Structure 1
Amino acid sequence: MGTKPVYVTFSQLANNQALATITMNSPKANTFDYSSFVALSDALAEVEAAPNVRGLVLQSGLDNIFSAGFNFPIFHNISRDEFLRLWVLGKQIYRRIHAMPVPSIAAVNGHALGMGCVFALAFQSRFMVAGRSTIGLNEVAVGMSVPEWLAARYRDLTSPRTAEKMLPLGRTLTAQQAKEAGLVDEVFETKEQMQAAIVSHIEAAAKFQPQAQADTYRSLRRAHLKLFDESFEADNAWCWAMVNNPATQQGLAEALSRLKSKPKK
């Protein structure tokens, strides 16, 4: 099980209820490409099909890294069809997580950058381990733009001013900074403390009447999902135009060149 790039485990809660945990376990910093999206989508489908799930957690099986986001070299000279297949699946995963009407937590034990942060933002809560790791949407720093629906989610969790200070500069935050900004809900000294707190949080939330809780989650998320759905096709076209822009492709080529010139450890 632990050798899979993504896998699901279920732990028992009270009253025959279950906590579902999806673990990302890819050796390359949990970076994303189409195959890893498929694995994550399949894991999510397993959770969606399971009975009596009352909580969802996304965590990393790697030390000091949640996810470094996209394996960005895949965007260099990517075709339109390849890009849209990748981008649409990633967005669908985000939507399915955000729409799931149960308590959900992203357990961030290390860096959560780019798409790693995107998936963390899909969850109701983000718990993070203190240290040198950072979390954030650093797209602009690598020559990409932040889509409207994603900027809106970041802004809703933090504030309009924080979003304006962070997103256009591709800035990321430490765990404590992220908590102060509202991007992260709780900060812990160790991964073990975080995991114990997650179980306690889910157990406490699972004591409430499931249907009443689920309906309330749906009400709270309806506005964001409406924006997401209404802009879906336009966003796909806009993001493809951005990736296919000669300036973006030149930036990717230069970044790849720098990576290749680095001495191998």
Structure 2
Amino acid sequence: MQKPPVNSLNLDLLVALRDTLVKLEKEKCKGMILTSESPSVFSAGLDIMEMYRPDHNRARKFWTTLQDTWIKLYSSPYPTVAAINGHSPAGGCLLALSCEYRVMVGPKFTIGLNETQLGIVAPFWFQDCMRNAIGERQAELALTLGKMFSVDEALKVGLIDEIAKDKADAISKAEDFLDEQSGLPALARSTVKVAFREATLNRLLKNREADTKMFLDFISMPKVQQALEMYMQTLKKK
């Protein structure tokens, strides 16, 4: 990802990600590493400007494109690794969780679904990804608090799989994972992967319109808009 300064997931970046994932699948990709050009941020998550005082039609397209991107990444038949070389809050954490394996550069970066701290709510499919990675109880605690995990904490609860000393090391460890997968029969490997992820995928696929409506209704609430404005003011002060 290379959308300066922090890879905020706006509509344009999501379209680029989705289209890339579609292309990789068509080209029968053997494996993918998702990382960031930024030296300090993997992805800052959803672009607040897509939700602040939104145009209804654009907001709908933004959300359905996010759904499309997640579905393509989460269900990809080829192996995927997140080389997390910077902070990874909210939607950035979702992208990492959607990959099969996660290597994170330590020790100063953080990762988590911190939506609660921003006055918004992580959608059920974000929550499902967290639950699948770290278990019901730890996910409930983390999501309620909007917790951002340190690298060591993330490894301890299973949010990430390995710690790397720098980006080059993270890429090397990611390549090791892909090399290990390359010796497996591709169809058998992908069938097992999809079977594990099927229930989570189907929950969104069967409820896409309801999820979209919930998002649009939620960001239209005055209290949510006030919370987003307060958060933006906080960012400006920084």
Q: TM-score over 0.5 for the alignment?
A: yes
Q: Is the 8 A contact 1:73 1:256 kept in 2?
A: no
SS of the residue corresponding to residue 120 of structure 2 reads coil
* Higher-RCO chain (CA-CA 8 Å, sequence separation at least 6): 2
Q: Name the residue aligned to 1:215.
A: 191
Q: Name the residue aligned to 1:226.
A: 202
1:123 to partner: Cα distance: 0.9
Q: Counterparts of 2:197 and 2:9 in 1: how far apart (Å)?
A: 26
Q: Counterparts of 2:50 and 2:198 in 1: how far apart (Å)?
A: 33
When Rg is computed on C-alpha atoms for both structures, the one with the higher figure is 1
Q: Is the 8 A contact 1:114 1:139 kept in 2?
A: yes
Residues 258 and 64 of structure 1: CA distance in aligned 2, closer, same or farther (over 3 Å): closer
1:136 to partner: Cα distance: 0.7
Alignment of 1:1-265 (within 5 A): 24-51=1-28, 53-260=29-236, 262=237
SS of the residue corresponding to residue 108 of structure 2 reads coil
| Deviation readout 1:159-211 (Å, 9 max, x if unpaired) | 11111111111111011111111111111122222111111211111101111
TM-score, normalised with respect to structure 2: 0.95
Structure 2: 5+ residue stretches without partners: none
TM-score, normalised with respect to structure 1: 0.85
SS of the residue corresponding to residue 78 of structure 2 reads coil
The aligned amino acid for 1:164 is E
Q: Counterparts of 2:226 and 2:215 in 1: how far apart (Å)?
A: 16
Q: Percent identity?
A: 28
| Deviation readout 1:8-36 (Å, 9 max, x if unpaired) | xxxxxxxxxxxxxxxx0111211111111
Q: Counterparts of 1:129 and 1:144 in 2: how far apart (Å)?
A: 28
Residues 159 and 85 of structure 1: CA distance in aligned 2, closer, same or farther (over 3 Å): same
The aligned amino acid for 1:229 is L
Structure ranking higher in helix proportion:
2
Task: State the Cα RMSD in Å.
Answer: 1.4
1:74 to partner: Cα distance: 3.0
